[in-house]
Amino acid sequence: MFNRKKSKQSSTQQTDKDEGVHGVSEVRDLFNTLSSSYDFINHQGTYNGVGYWVSYYRSLIDAQELHKSVLSVIPSLEKINLGQMRESIPIEDTLITSTRTVIEDRIMRGHIAIRLDANLDECLLINVVAQHGRQVDKPELEFGIISPQEAFVEDIDINLNLVRKRLPVPSLQVTELTVGTLSKTKVAVLAIEGIVDKENVDTVVKRISEIDFDEILDGSHLAQMLYDDTNTLFPLFLYTERPDRIASALAEGKVAMIVDRSSSALIAPTILLEYFITMEDYNMPWVPASAFRLLRIFAVIFSIFATPLYVAVLTYHYELIPKDLLETIVTSRNLIPFQPLIEALFLEISIELLREAAARLPTKVGQTLGIVGGIVIGQAAVVAGLTSNILLIIVALSALASFVTPIYKMGNAIRLLRFPFLVGAQIWGLLGITISAVFLMTHLIKLTSMGHPYLEPIYPFHIKDWKDSFVRLPFTFFKSRPVNLRTEDTTRQSKPKKSKRKTNDFNE
Amino acid sequence: MNQTDVNEKYMVAPFYVFFLVHSMQTGIGVLSFQRILAKSTGTDGWISILLAGLIVHSLIWVIYKIFSMVPGDILSVNHHAFGKWGGNLFSLLFIAYFLVLGSTVMVSYIQIIHVWMFEEVPAWSFSLVFLILIYYINTGGFRTITGIAFLSVMMTFWLAFVLFYAMKYSEFTNLLPVFDHSLLDIWTGTKHSALSMIGFELILMFYPFIKDAKASQKYAHGGALTTTLITVIVYLVSLVFYSQNQLVLNIWPTLTMTSIVELAFIQRFEYIYVSWWAIVIIPNITISLWAASRGFKRLFNVQQKYPLWGMSLIILIINIFFFDVDSLNILEKIINPYGVLFLVSYLPLLLVIIYIKKKRNRL
C-alpha cells in the first residue's frame, strides 16, 4: 500500500512508479464511477490541438482558485504535458500518478485531476480544496475571564496552528492518522519529544490505528473508543476547546489529539482532579486560585450528596436533627403527602428536564425557560404542597453546584451520580450512602486513563503531585512535572530563584 | 508452588503496609473491647493494651524474619518447613482462619447495624450487598484492595477525634487507682484486648505484593503502633467518661460515647458513626476474604474468583440461616482463644523450624 504521508512529502520530485499494467483500465473505471455523481465535473478543453480533461467535485474545490491558478495557466504554456503543467501551476501540493487508490483518495479530499487525451490513465493531481469554516472564536463551554479568548474551530490545520503558536519548538511532534472507513477522519497526535513518555504516544497511536469503525464524528466520539474502560460515567480523556489547555498539557508531558471536523481536542492521560481545574487557576495568584479550586471540589461533593442526605435523614434518621431545626423542617414538610424520595425525585427530575430542555432549545426561546423553570414550577410545586421549601433550596443549590465543573462532561457525570446515591439513601439511609460511596471509591481506584491511575495523586499517593491538585501552590513549587506521567525530562525550572525581589531592613 | 512470584505491575509501594496493617487491625474490636477489658483489668487496662501491642510488634518482627529467610507468602513457608502434606495442612488452617475472621467481622458489623440502626432488615440483604461490593473490590486486584484500605484509613481517621467530644463530660479521677491489679489480671486483660489487635497477620499473605518488601517492616510496625496508641486513647477516654460499673455493662462503649455529640445542626452522632464505620469494615472483610481466596488459589491452582464465590456463598448462607448470631460470642469463644493462640504459638515455632533447617542445610 502507498503511504499517504510519505507521498505528500516526496510528491514534488517523484512521479509514482507503482503503476502496473493492470492499473490502466482501473483509472478510467474510477472516473466513470465518479462521474455518476452530479457534482462531479469533467471539463474538456483543447489547447494547441491537445485535448485535456479537468475532473473534480465542484462541491469540494475552490472554484476561484481553479480559475486563477490552473485554468488560466494552461493557455500560457508552450507545450502541453503533465510535467510542464505541474511546474507552471503555482500550487505546491501536486502529484502525477496513475494509481487508482491515490487518485480516488486525493480527489475526495478536494484535488482536481488533469488528464491528457494521449494518456487517460495518468493524472496530475492539484490541491485546490475549498477552505470553508468559521473563524477562530471565543470559547463557549470553557469560558475564562482572565485567560486567552481563543477556542478551537473545526479545521485541523487551524487548530494545529493555534497549538504550535503557543509551543514554537521543533520538538513538538505531530503524527497524523486516518480513522473511519467512511469518514476518513484525520487525527493528529501531538506530543513534545524529550518530555513525553514515549510509551504514552505509542499507546495512543496504537489504539487509534486499532479502531475499526465506519464513522468518527467528533473528538469525544473517538475518545470513547480509546478509553481503557468504557463502562464508566467519568470522562477518561479530557475534552477541551482551549488551545492553552492543550499547550499546558503538552508541556506537562501529556499527549494531545486533535481531530479534524471537531472543535475540541483531547488530552490523555488525565486524572480526576484535572477536571476541576480551569486555566484561570494559573492566571490568578495562588491563594484565590486554590480557594476557588477547593470551592469547586466542595461544590461537586455537595451536589452529589446533598439530596441523598436529605432523603436519608428525613426517611430514617430524623433523630439526627436537633429539636429546633426539626421544627422548621417539620413545618415545611407537614402538608406534603409523599415520602422524601418521591419529593426529591420530583424536583431532581424537573431540574434535569429544565437543563435538558435548555440545552436543546434555541437561545431566544431558552431565556423564557429559566423563568418558567425557576420561578413558576419551583414556586408552584411548593405552594401545591408537592415539595418542601427546604428541599427546593437544596436541589437548586446542588444543581447550581454541578455547573461549576469547568469540563462539561464531568458535569454530566456528576449530574447522573446523584441518582444511585438517592437510591442508596432510600434503601438504607446513611449506610446506603456510605456503601454507594465505597462503590464509587472502588470504581475510581480501578479506573485508568491510558493505563495511568485516575485517582492519582490521592491513590497512588504521590505527595509531589499535590502541588497542583486540590490546591495550586505558587509556581516556585512547580519544579517537576507530574510523577504519574513518568516524563523523560522531569524538570520544569532548572535554576533556583535568582535575586530576592524585596528587601527591607527586616531581611538584612 | 510456582505462582509465588508476583508481577511487579501488581505490587504496591512499601509505605502502604502501614495502612494495610492499621486498617486490618481496626475493625469491630475497637468498638467493643472496653467491656471485657474493664471486667478483668479495670483502670490498668491500658497496660494490658500496651503489652498486647508489644506482642504484636514482636510477632511482626517474627513474620519479617521468617520472610527474610524464606521469601514468598505463608503457604510457601509452610511448604518449606513441613513439606508438602504438613505444609498444606497448616495452609488450610490459615485459609480457614482468614475466612472465619472475615465472616465474623461481617456478622458483627451487621449485628451493630441491627442494634443501632435498622432492626428489621434481614442480615442476608446486608451481607449480599457487602459481598457484591467486596467481590467488586477484589476484581480490581491487590492494588485496588490497598487503595480501599488506604482511603478507608484516610477517611475514617477523624472518627477518633469525635471521642474527644466525650471528654467534656469526663471525670479524670476514674483513671485512678493505677497499678492496682495483679500481673495475672493484666495478663488476662492482654488476652482480652487481643481482638482489637489481630489483623496484622495478613502480612503473611500480602507480603509478596509489596515492592521492596524488606523496607516495609518499619511501616508495619508503624501501623501496629498507631493501632495500639488509638486503642489506648479510646480506652482511656472510655475510662474517664464511664464509671467502672457502667463500662462493664456496655456492649459498645465507643458507640454510646458518640451518641452524646451535639452540634447546631446535628445530634445523635452514632448514626453517622455506625454508617461511616462501614468504610472501616469493608477493607477489613475484603482483605480477609482476599487472603483466604488467594490461599485457596495458590493451594489448588484455580482462578481466584471460584474460591471467592464459594466463600461468599458460605457467608451468605450463614447470614440467611442464622439471624443475629451472637457474633461477639463467637469472636470471644473461637477466634480469641484458639485463633490468637494459634498465631502466637505457631509463628515463633515456624521461625525456629526454618532457622534450624537453614542451619542444617548450611552445615
Tell me the domain boundaries of chain A: 4-127, 156-270, 288-452
CA distance to A304, A340, A429, A434, per residue, from A346 (Å): 16, 10, 19, 23
Written as nine digits, the cell of B196 is: 482489637
Residue B337 has pLDDT above 80, yes or no: no
Written as nine digits, the cell of B85 is: 502434606
DSSP reduced 3-state for B260: coil
Written as nine digits, the cell of A391 is: 428541599
Residue B135 has pLDDT above 90, yes or no: yes
Q: How far apart are CA A341 and CA A338, in angstroms?
A: 8
CB proximity A328 to B under 8 Å: no
CB proximity A275 to B under 8 Å: no
Tally of residues, chain B: 363
How close, in Å, is residue B134 to chain A by CA atoms? 9
Cβ(B238)–Cβ(B34) below 8 Å? yes
CB proximity A322 to B under 8 Å: yes
How close, in Å, is residue B262 to chain A by CA atoms? 8
Mean pLDDT of B181-192: 86
Confidence tier at B111 by pLDDT (50, 70, 90): confident
CB proximity A225 to B under 8 Å: no
Q: How far apart are CA A227 and CA A214, in angstroms?
A: 18
Q: What is the pLDDT of residue A350?
A: 86
| Mean pLDDT across chain A | 85
Tally of residues, chain A: 508
Q: Which helix (H) or strand (E) holds A306?
A: helix A286-315
Mean pLDDT of B93-106: 89
* One-letter identity of residue A263: S
Nearest to A143 by CA among A408, A396, A470: A408
CB proximity A204 to B under 8 Å: no
Spell out a b/e string for B257-275, using b for 16 or more CB atoms within 10 Å of the CB, else e. Answer: bbbebeeeeebbbbbbbbb
Cβ(A407)–Cβ(A264) below 8 Å? no
ipTM value for the complex: 0.93
Q: How far apart are CA B26 and CA B160, in angstroms?
A: 11
A485/B363: higher pLDDT:
A485
Confidence tier at A170 by pLDDT (50, 70, 90): very high
Q: From edge to edge, which strands make up the β-sheet containing A238-240?
A: A172-179, A185-192, A255-259, A265-268, A238-240
Considering B61-65, B184-188, B269-273, the range whose residues carry the highest mean pLDDT is: B61-65
Residue A10 has pLDDT above 60, yes or no: no
Q: What is the pLDDT of residue B128?
A: 94
> DSSP labels for B61-94?
HHHHHHHHHS-S-HHHHHHHHHHHHHHHHHHHHH
In this prediction the pTM is 0.89
Residue A315 neighbours by CB distance under 10 Å: 18
How close, in Å, is residue A326 to chain B by CA atoms? 9
Q: Which chain A residues contact residue B134 at CB under 8 A?
A: none
Q: In this predicted structure, which of A147-156, A248-257, A375-384, B323-332 has the lowest mean pLDDT?
A: B323-332
Nearest to A320 among B129, B268, B276 (CB): B268
Written as nine digits, the cell of A433 is: 450512602
Mean pLDDT of A24-49: 83
Q: What is the pLDDT of residue B289?
A: 94
Residue A254 has pLDDT above 90, yes or no: yes
DSSP letter, residue B198: T
Residue B19 has pLDDT above 90, yes or no: yes
CB contact under 8 A, B148 and A430: no
Q: What is the pLDDT of residue A82?
A: 82
CB contact under 8 A, A455 and B147: yes
Mean pLDDT of A243-250: 93
CB proximity A441 to B under 8 Å: yes
| Closest chain B residue to the Cα of A460, Cα to Cα | B147
Q: Which chain B residues contact residue A329 at CB under 8 A?
A: none
How close, in Å, is residue A99 to chain B by CA atoms? 48
Q: Which residues of B touch A (CB under 8 A)?
A: 13, 15, 113, 117-118, 121, 129-130, 133, 136-137, 140, 143-144, 147-148, 150-151, 262-268, 271-272, 274-276, 278-279, 282
At the top level of CATH, the class of B8-362 is mainly alpha
Nearest to B262 among A322, A439, A455 (CB): A322
Q: What is the pLDDT of residue A20?
A: 45
| Mean pLDDT across chain B | 87
How wide is the angle at C-alpha A443 spanned by C-alphas A442 and A446, nearest 5°? 85
Name the CA radius of gyration of chain B, rounded. 20
Helices of type H across chain B:
16-25, 29-40, 45-69, 74-116, 123-138, 141-156, 159-162, 183-192, 203-206, 217-241, 244-247, 253-258, 270-300, 305-321, 327-330, 340-362
CA distance to A183, A468, B183, per residue, from A179 (Å): 7, 35, 78
Q: Which chain A residues contact residue B140 at CB under 8 A?
A: 442, 445-446
* One-letter identity of residue A493: Q
CA dihedral B297, B298, B300, B306 (to 10 degrees): 0
Mean pLDDT of B280-307: 92
Nearest to B144 among A321, A429, A442 (CB): A442
Residue B98 has pLDDT above 60, yes or no: yes
Q: What is the pLDDT of residue B20?
A: 94
Spell out a b/e string for A180-202, using b for 16 or more CB atoms within 10 Å of the CB, else e. Answer: beebebbbbbbbbeebbbeebbe
CB contact under 8 A, B267 and A446: no
Confidence tier at B183 by pLDDT (50, 70, 90): confident
CA dihedral B22, B25, B27, B28 (to 10 degrees): -160
Q: In this predicted structure, which of A144-153, A249-258, B160-169 has the lowest mean pLDDT?
A: B160-169
Q: What is the pLDDT of residue A18?
A: 44
Q: What is the pLDDT of residue B4?
A: 59
Q: What is the pLDDT of residue B35?
A: 86
| Closest chain A residue to the Cα of B145, Cα to Cα | A442
Spell out a b/e string for A384-393, using b for 16 or more CB atoms within 10 Å of the CB, else e. Answer: eebbbbbbbe
Cβ(B194)–Cβ(B336) below 8 Å? yes
Q: What is the pLDDT of residue B91?
A: 92
CB contact under 8 A, B147 and A459: yes
Q: In this predicted structure, which of B115-129, B178-192, B322-336 has the lowest mean pLDDT?
A: B322-336
Q: Which chain B residues contact residue A434 at CB under 8 A?
A: 275-276, 278-279
Contact partners, residue B218, CB within 8 Å, separation at least 6? none
Render pLDDT for A435-476 as a digit per residue (tens, 0 to 9).
Answer: 999 999 999 999 999 989 999 889 889 888 888 888 999 888
Mean pLDDT of B310-319: 90
Mean pLDDT of A316-342: 86
Confidence tier at A19 by pLDDT (50, 70, 90): very low
Q: How far apart are CA B280 and CA B292, in angstroms?
A: 19
Tell me the domain boundaries of chain B: 8-362
Q: What is the pLDDT of residue A426?
A: 93
Q: What is the pLDDT of residue B264?
A: 78
Region class of A37: left (phi > 0), else alpha (psi between -120 and 50), else beta: beta
Nearest to B140 among A429, A435, A446 (CB): A446
Q: Which chain B residues contact residue A428 at CB under 8 A?
A: 118, 121
Residue B26 has pLDDT above 80, yes or no: yes
